[in-house]
Amino acid sequence: MAIEGKQEAARQPRIRLGMVGGGSGAFIGAVHRMAARLDDRFELVAGALSSTPDKAAVSGRELGLDPVRTYGSYRDMAETEAGREDGIEAVSIVTPNHVHFEAARAFLERGIHVICDKPLTSNLADAKKLKTLADESDALFILTHNYTGYPMVRQAREMIANGDLGRLRVVNVEYAQDWLTEAAEETGAKQAVWRTDPAQSGVGGSTGDIGTHAYNLACFVTGLTLESLAADLDSFVPGRRLDDNAHVMLRFAAEEGERPAKGMLWCSQVAPGNENALKLRVYGDKGGLEWSQENPNLLWYTPFGEPKRLITRNGAGAGAAAARVSRIPGGHPEGYLEAFATIYSEAALAIHAKKSGSELDPAVLYPSVDDGVKGVAFVEACVESSRKNGVWVTL
Amino acid sequence: MAIEGKQEAARQPRIRLGMVGGGSGAFIGAVHRMAARLDDRFELVAGALSSTPDKAAVSGRELGLDPVRTYGSYRDMAETEAGREDGIEAVSIVTPNHVHFEAARAFLERGIHVICDKPLTSNLADAKKLKTLADESDALFILTHNYTGYPMVRQAREMIANGDLGRLRVVNVEYAQDWLTEAAEETGAKQAVWRTDPAQSGVGGSTGDIGTHAYNLACFVTGLTLESLAADLDSFVPGRRLDDNAHVMLRFAAEEGERPAKGMLWCSQVAPGNENALKLRVYGDKGGLEWSQENPNLLWYTPFGEPKRLITRNGAGAGAAAARVSRIPGGHPEGYLEAFATIYSEAALAIHAKKSGSELDPAVLYPSVDDGVKGVAFVEACVESSRKNGVWVTL
Amino acid sequence: MAIEGKQEAARQPRIRLGMVGGGSGAFIGAVHRMAARLDDRFELVAGALSSTPDKAAVSGRELGLDPVRTYGSYRDMAETEAGREDGIEAVSIVTPNHVHFEAARAFLERGIHVICDKPLTSNLADAKKLKTLADESDALFILTHNYTGYPMVRQAREMIANGDLGRLRVVNVEYAQDWLTEAAEETGAKQAVWRTDPAQSGVGGSTGDIGTHAYNLACFVTGLTLESLAADLDSFVPGRRLDDNAHVMLRFAAEEGERPAKGMLWCSQVAPGNENALKLRVYGDKGGLEWSQENPNLLWYTPFGEPKRLITRNGAGAGAAAARVSRIPGGHPEGYLEAFATIYSEAALAIHAKKSGSELDPAVLYPSVDDGVKGVAFVEACVESSRKNGVWVTL
Amino acid sequence: MAIEGKQEAARQPRIRLGMVGGGSGAFIGAVHRMAARLDDRFELVAGALSSTPDKAAVSGRELGLDPVRTYGSYRDMAETEAGREDGIEAVSIVTPNHVHFEAARAFLERGIHVICDKPLTSNLADAKKLKTLADESDALFILTHNYTGYPMVRQAREMIANGDLGRLRVVNVEYAQDWLTEAAEETGAKQAVWRTDPAQSGVGGSTGDIGTHAYNLACFVTGLTLESLAADLDSFVPGRRLDDNAHVMLRFAAEEGERPAKGMLWCSQVAPGNENALKLRVYGDKGGLEWSQENPNLLWYTPFGEPKRLITRNGAGAGAAAARVSRIPGGHPEGYLEAFATIYSEAALAIHAKKSGSELDPAVLYPSVDDGVKGVAFVEACVESSRKNGVWVTL
């Protein structure tokens, strides 16, 4: 029961952090800041918080940043901070998708670690170029597929890796929302506007915004690689330019002579009654697992032929992988911000290891630029399959 | 709260019922008998309970049937009972699928009403022939898609017909079980043996056994017609001859100028932790509904922009369609047998109306031979699509 | 999975049954009839269905009873049926509480088995007299504490008897409803009128109507004997003459040197949002159990230091006691009527054993006249404790 | 959906914070630090983290505190920091209960705001003295009854204040845990040792540790005042010196002529399967509410005669009080740390208002020293009532 504050690092100094995007009116910027603060491993010291310089300045002031380090553009920030002795060591990129590539490039080229929101970029060509840049850079690249930070997601991954489910057969994942049931983009709602705009989001709507999370989660937990998919996408809301609902059939890669696992992915932003209903179900020949983001501290484990078991975060049955990223006792719920903070803490551990040249603890896990490339490829494959009437597209 | 025994009919005499199949070791035969008894509208008076005459005799004795009316074959029963003044008026056919066609024919041709288990037949050609026979007969044909008898399923149907969900967009339905996770058919388990045997079941395994239920439920509740499907079927258990898992994408028919509703169907008999997890979710532009068979007295209604509401059987918010087929107050759960009994009671009402030449109350609903043809067509379309690598097949 | 219709008896002839009460407008009469029918062990052949002769006749006709055996009073029925060679062997008494005693006496004295609704009588003096009558009679007395018929209640009882929970410490039970939140009795609603009328119900309102069920359930499952209680009763609705809410602290008898188990009982008919929320939680030094009537096919088992387990009716982890009274596979819910039917089937088994002089299978369980006396004593103790400002009253 | 980081203050400088207790091995100290950090309104700059000076020094180093401001005793810290120009403005006291009084006094007397863990003190005499000190001090006193920081708890309080439930009748609250099911204190587990030790905890075991939370929550949400209680306490684990289970009946104060609300409180640390199962249910003559800490983002609202509604944090149906203390969109769960952080942010707002002499927004809510006195009085009343065999004790 008694748990020390093991996420509190502080034997190492806080990492100096900048932020691109995330000014007033943004949702995800504030999330990144809280996540960066929770475990006390980062200190926000600089920002290019808006592409509108005035707004950037106001936002910087609101956050208590030094005005000198409040920049009107990420380029300025990259250049100036790279030149300061106490310049930022890492940067969080929390803009709409189409800015990710250029912004990331600016920092990677200067050896500044990048923590970037997903999807990686707004198209696959950029994604691949960014991967090359990241591979060539000394700096690390961390993609915030934040759901991989949930303790029970780590638990599920560990159990599957341990063989508790046997050979995997079925992987069903879904992410349903309802906030775009009506044409919110026509009311000017900032979040709706850019997420339904191909110029800012890329070719995927719900597939890019939340389908990539579902896809990433399924692969992270199962350890499987998606081989091909067949998709049927829709834009149910009249006038909407990007998909707001997608049904996708999945085939995973199998070893020689093995029957491949199959699956389904459903993502929707027009499903009334669903807020952030990300749900994963995995079945193997020995048992199953079910996890739901909206009540994330629980994991159903269903060994075949035995009663269902409910494993709780830090409760009996939870293993080392979950305990490592838990902060408080079971029954005291940790939520979205804590999972997001875990990605930041993993990033911090990786950055410190990099700085000190020491080996990174293999238990440390964070989504990489490779995951980002896969995510963008997933979106493009969905769109292609759907355009071709649901033909199987190989990834 | 106070509810009269409104399912107790008895102003009309009980209908004399025979049964084909359902001897010792059968699961569904006993279910049919309890269902027929619950509302006191039928009396079982004859049976051809097994294709093995000795077993038929023993089973008849166990059920207290008159030995004279315990037959060694359904043909004998049809012929003899048709000749008795007090002969059976209706027959329940509860054999494996491949027997349905010939057995139904024997009774329909003699004007005896048929209550038949699903799927209708083991192939589409037979199904169509049976439809012709049923259409030409004076007798009624009732298919026991029993899930349509659940009060909250009726409630859902009523709400959608009333427009409470607006224009429908997404229909996701699934039926997951786990009892065939291992090769139960190799242990000789009777239920497993025939359900995995193409000679007895037809071309569909899980698709025929439970996928048809899911498909029927989705159409019954939404009022939509399935236009085409793309399927990916598997037999995960080595050596299994029929599918034990299917992922299916659905496209429903739309009116001119309207965007068609889309959906997904998943059925599986290899999903550990699932017993009879039949679940339906429907989303329209005004709201959504969710229903699950394992806790069937509840219906989630999620009007867009309002808090989720939980409607209970006979509770506030439940309408006339649900009340009509409820027996006891809300909070006192009715289950599978009650829903099954409702199909029998609907059949009785239809038979009485037929006999008396009176008009049938339009609130009376039962699955018909047309639903049966559609079900078999669904199975064959799934198999065809899957064989052709998931191409869209029109129904 | 495959389950024979083991509740179908029929090797023995159906027991001839009469009914007292249960005419039009009654709730529980129809329940008893469906329960008696489900497993095919009884045949309703006579009735004194209302104390108003005209209504009795109409109700008898509606149920298809022989008019000759439709009586204007239970006295007539007792006398006449006792004289018939094919007279009733058992009678169901489903009237308001104050009639139970005299009606039961009339049948017990003639050797006719009595199946009686709870609470046993409207006061303890009558209850004790009835016990004497029942003890002296050759006929059996079965009290329909129907919740003891649920398979998972049997499962819980078996697990506790097996020591799975270790030494019991805490027993919390509650039964909450909301249908008397307003003064329904003032609208003339039949169920509300008699249940809030001391002349018909006795001194207990919610305590008698549902508190006795909760008390009986707690004792049935745990095997414990209540030693004393301290109660705080209320009639929250202005003008209501009987309690509509009760909080009760419980102390159970312990063996010499053992610490007694403690508990709480809450019953309420003024708790909006509760339909028939009967819930039991039991904790011992090795583990706990939780069961809820509104989703009765599940039982939580929480062994200390291990993940919670969800045992399902007929699923893995369910034992012989549950299987014995289950009819269909797990995941296909059985409900209130099935549990009620189990009481009838247990009664039938006991009656057949009595008739044949054979020993009754010890697995057969039904609530007895002793349980009935205890129930009435419980109600009177609650009322006494509450009147004396919550002093502990020994039972 | 889009939500600005409204909990991010920073227009005002961070409040300089010290901490008493909370060194290595403590659970609640780390919680306070994360809570203080999350919304960026505090900066931890000093600590007397352990009563063992060596351990204090190590803990300070681990947290990155200036060694000069890492103190070996709270007295030193109070004196020294009070003398610094940049000294702490507020202090968090997170020691075992018996230290609260003297530590709080040391800071209050120097005008340093106190944020103190509950229960207020280990006995009522101290609690009252501390109240006098707090009332006389210029400094604020905030008690971390952290559950009052949950958005849906605020929502519930707002709805009741708005009259949505009508006149309140029944208030049932419980807090169940299982971690003391066995004699964990005998294994030396730090948390178990002090919480079961009268010298450190006071007269209450489970009543003090968690019963006070349940009591505080019930009063906070309902706005009611507890008038009297009758309790039955136990120490089920052999050798345990403080209660580990308590059943308590509650009577609330009523206005002249009104029927008082009644209730029940159950707290237990020996209920296997319960981690931190704090649950509140409130019923009035118009409707009910149910909330559970383990899934805290949901609130059931059950208006009488209407379907149950599930209100989600930041979802439809949630009002201003909940929105004010929410950070992220509905469906993205906030948990225990966020609720705790809200107490800190409320404290910060109060401290800033105090400093600036401006009026505090009446929406700002935090538990006060008065709540603390009530909590200790509650524990002592429980113990007294139980010793006197459950007699009603007036508070």
Task: List, for residues D79-122, the tens digit of each pLDDT value.
Answer: 999 999 999 999 999 999 899 999 999 999 999 999 999 999 98
pLDDT at res. C227: 98
Inside any domain, residue A223: yes
Of the partner residues D307, D312, D316, the one whose CB lies closest to the CB of residue B317: D307
Residues of D in contact with A146 (CB under 8 A): none
B96 and B159 both lie in a single domain: no
CATH number of the domain within which B91 lies: 3.40.50.720
Inside any domain, residue B349: no
- CB atoms near residue A55 (< 10 Å): 15
Task: With CB atoms and an 8 Å threshold, state whether A308 touches C309.
Answer: yes
Using a CB–CB cutoff of 8 Å, tell me whether D301 touches chain B. yes
Residues of B in contact with D313 (CB under 8 A): none
Whether ipTM exceeds 0.85: yes
Number of domains composing chain B: 2
pLDDT at res. D8: 52
Task: With CB atoms and an 8 Å threshold, state whether D64 touches A27.
Answer: no
Counting one residue from chain A and one from chain C, the pairs whose CB atoms sit within 8 A come to: 32
Distance CA D38, CA C220 (A): 50
Task: With CB atoms and an 8 Å threshold, state whether A317 touches C301.
Answer: no
Amino acid identity at B40: D
Inside any domain, residue B3: no
Candidates B178, B258, B283, B310: best to mutate against A (most CBs of A within 10 A) is: B283
In the block, tokens 């407008």 appear at: C25
- CB atoms near residue A35 (< 10 Å): 28
Of the partner residues C10, C25, C335, the one whose CB lies closest to the CB of residue B63: C10
Residues of A in contact with B169 (CB under 8 A): 234, 236, 245, 270
CA D16 to chain CA centroid, nearest Å: 22
pLDDT in tens, chain B (395 residues): 333 334 455 468 899 999 999 997 778 999 999 999 999 999 999 999 998 989 999 999 999 999 999 999 999 999 999 999 999 999 999 999 899 999 999 999 999 999 999 999 989 999 999 999 999 999 999 999 999 999 999 999 999 999 999 999 999 999 999 999 999 999 988 889 989 999 988 999 999 999 999 999 999 999 999 999 999 999 999 999 999 999 999 999 998 888 999 999 999 999 999 999 999 999 999 999 999 999 999 999 999 999 999 999 999 899 999 999 999 999 999 999 999 999 999 999 999 999 999 999 999 999 999 999 999 999 999 999 999 999 999 99
Q: Which residues contact C300 (CB under 8 A, 6 or more apart)?
A: C288, C289, C290, C291, C308, C309, C310, C311, D273
Q: Which chains share 3+ C-beta pairs under 8 angstroms with D?
A: A, B, C
Task: With CB atoms and an 8 Å threshold, state whether C182 touches D272.
Answer: no
pLDDT at res. A11: 67
- CB atoms near residue D185 (< 10 Å): 21
Q: Which residues contact D329 (CB under 8 A, 6 or more apart)?
A: A27, A275, A276, D1, D2, D3, D314
D119 and D179 both lie in a single domain: no
D171 and D312 both lie in a single domain: yes
The residue from D146, D180, D214 where one domain ends is D146
Task: With CB atoms and an 8 Å threshold, state whether C273 touches D300.
Answer: yes
Amino acid identity at D206: S
Domain that holds residue D243: 151-328+370-387
Structure-token pair, residue B374: 């559609």
Handedness of CA D71, D74, D76, D82 (dihedral sign): positive
D306 and D170 both lie in a single domain: yes
Instruction: Give the residues across from B284 on adjacent strands.
Output: B168
Cβ D69 vs Cβ D61: under 8 Å: no
Residue of D nearest to A65 (CA): D10
CA terminus-to-terminus distance, chain D = 45
Residues of D in contact with B315 (CB under 8 A): 307
Q: Which residues contact A281 (CB under 8 A, 6 or more apart)?
A: A170, A171, A172, A173, A288, A289, A290, A291, B271
Using a CB–CB cutoff of 8 Å, tell me whether C272 touches chain B. no
pLDDT at res. D388: 98
Quote the mean pLDDT of chain B: 94
SS3 content of chain D, % helix, strand, coil (to 5): 40, 20, 40
CA A328 to chain CA centroid, nearest Å: 23
Q: Which chains share 3+ C-beta pairs under 8 angstroms with B?
A: A, C, D
* Cα separations in angstroms, C89 against C106, C139, C299, C329, C348: 13, 9, 37, 33, 10
CATH number of the domain within which A248 lies: 3.30.360.10
What is the three-class DSSP state of C61? helix
CA terminus-to-terminus distance, chain B = 45
Candidates A167, A172, A294: best to mutate against B (most CBs of B within 10 A) is: A172
Task: With CB atoms and an 8 Å threshold, state whether A316 touches C307.
Answer: yes
Distance CA D132, CA D126 (A): 10
Task: With CB atoms and an 8 Å threshold, state whether A4 touches D24.
Answer: yes
Distance CA D178, CA C257 (A): 24
Using a CB–CB cutoff of 8 Å, tell me whether A330 touches chain D. yes
Using a CB–CB cutoff of 8 Å, tell me whether D292 touches chain A. no
Among the listed residues B68, B94, B63, the one whose alpha carbon sits nearest the alpha carbon of residue B81 = B68
Cα angle for residues A203, A208, A211 (degrees, 5° grid):
135
Task: With CB atoms and an 8 Å threshold, state whether A309 touches C307.
Answer: yes
Distance from CA of C217 to the nearest CA of B (A): 16
pLDDT at res. A2: 33
D 168-187 near A (Cβ less than 8 A): 177, 179, 184
B277 and B374 both lie in a single domain: yes
D196 and D87 both lie in a single domain: no
Distance from CA of D255 to the nearest CA of A (A): 37
Residue of A nearest to D278 (CA): A331
- Look at C26 and D257; give whichever has higher pLDDT: D257
pLDDT at res. A233: 98
Using a CB–CB cutoff of 8 Å, tell me whether D331 touches chain B. no
Counting one residue from chain A and one from chain D, the pairs whose CB atoms sit within 8 A come to: 175
Task: With CB atoms and an 8 Å threshold, state whether D304 touches C262.
Answer: no
Biggest CA–CA distance in chain C, Å, is: 64
Candidates C159, C310, C313, C314: best to mutate against A (most CBs of A within 10 A) is: C310
Structure-token pair, residue B221: 């509740």
Inside any domain, residue C30: no
D240 and D374 both lie in a single domain: yes
What's chain D's Rg over C-alpha atoms?
21
pTM of the predicted model as reported, rounded to 2 decimal places: 0.96
D67 and D197 both lie in a single domain: no
Task: With CB atoms and an 8 Å threshold, state whether A288 touches B308.
Answer: no
Candidates B308, B309, B312, B313: best to mutate against D (most CBs of D within 10 A) is: B308
Using a CB–CB cutoff of 8 Å, tell me whether C111 touches chain B. no
For chain A, the residue count is: 395
Task: With CB atoms and an 8 Å threshold, state whether C312 touches A307.
Answer: yes
Residues of A in contact with B304 (CB under 8 A): 178, 181-182, 272
Residues of A in contact with B290 (CB under 8 A): 273
The residue from D146, D178, D197 where one domain ends is D146
Residue A249: phi, psi to the nearest 5?
Answer: -95, 145
Residues of A in contact with B286 (CB under 8 A): 272
Distance CA D98, CA D126 (A): 9
CA terminus-to-terminus distance, chain A = 45
Residue A145: phi, psi to the nearest 5?
Answer: -75, 80
B68 and B186 both lie in a single domain: no
Using a CB–CB cutoff of 8 Å, tell me whether D41 touches chain A. no
pLDDT in tens, chain C (395 residues): 333 334 455 468 899 999 999 997 778 999 999 999 999 999 999 999 998 989 999 999 999 999 999 999 999 999 999 999 999 999 999 999 899 999 999 999 999 999 999 999 989 999 999 999 999 999 999 999 999 999 999 999 999 999 999 999 999 999 999 999 999 999 988 889 989 999 998 999 999 999 999 999 999 999 999 999 999 999 999 999 999 999 999 999 998 888 999 999 999 999 999 999 999 999 999 999 999 999 999 999 999 999 999 999 999 899 999 999 999 999 999 999 999 999 999 999 999 999 999 999 999 999 999 999 999 999 999 999 999 999 999 99
Cβ D7 vs Cβ D39: under 8 Å: yes
B288 and B173 both lie in a single domain: yes
Instruction: Give the residues across from B18 on adjacent strands.
Output: B46, B91
A 8-27 near C (Cβ less than 8 A): none
D204 and D68 both lie in a single domain: no
Distance from CA of C361 to the nearest CA of D (A): 34
Q: Which chains share 3+ C-beta pairs under 8 angstroms with C?
A: A, B, D
Using a CB–CB cutoff of 8 Å, tell me whether C301 touches chain A. yes
Residue of D nearest to A309 (CA): D273
Structure-token pair, residue B392: 């869209």
Distance from CA of D222 to the nearest CA of C (A): 15
Upper half-sphere CA count for residue D46 (Cβ side, 13 Å) = 27
SS3 content of chain B, % helix, strand, coil (to 5): 40, 20, 40
pLDDT at res. D282: 98
Provide mean pLDDT across the span D305-309.
Answer: 97
Task: With CB atoms and an 8 Å threshold, state whether A309 touches C311.
Answer: no
Distance from CA of C304 to the nearest CA of A (A): 9
**Each residue's pLDDT tens digit, B111-166:** 999 999 999 998 999 999 999 999 999 999 999 999 999 999 999 999 999 999 99
Residue D317: phi, psi to the nearest 5?
Answer: 95, -15
Spans of chain A, pLDDT less than 50: 1-7, 10
B40 and B81 both lie in a single domain: yes
Biggest CA–CA distance in chain A, Å, is: 65
In the block, tokens 């803009």 appear at: A95
Using a CB–CB cutoff of 8 Å, tell me whether D295 touches chain A. yes
Inside any domain, residue D117: yes
Distance CA A395, CA D221 (A): 54
- By DSSP bridging, strand B245-252 and strand C308-312 are unpaired
The residue from D146, D178, D195 where one domain ends is D146
Residue of A nearest to C315 (CA): A307
Cα angle for residues C249, C252, C255 (degrees, 5° grid):
155
Residue C351: phi, psi to the nearest 5?
Answer: -65, -40
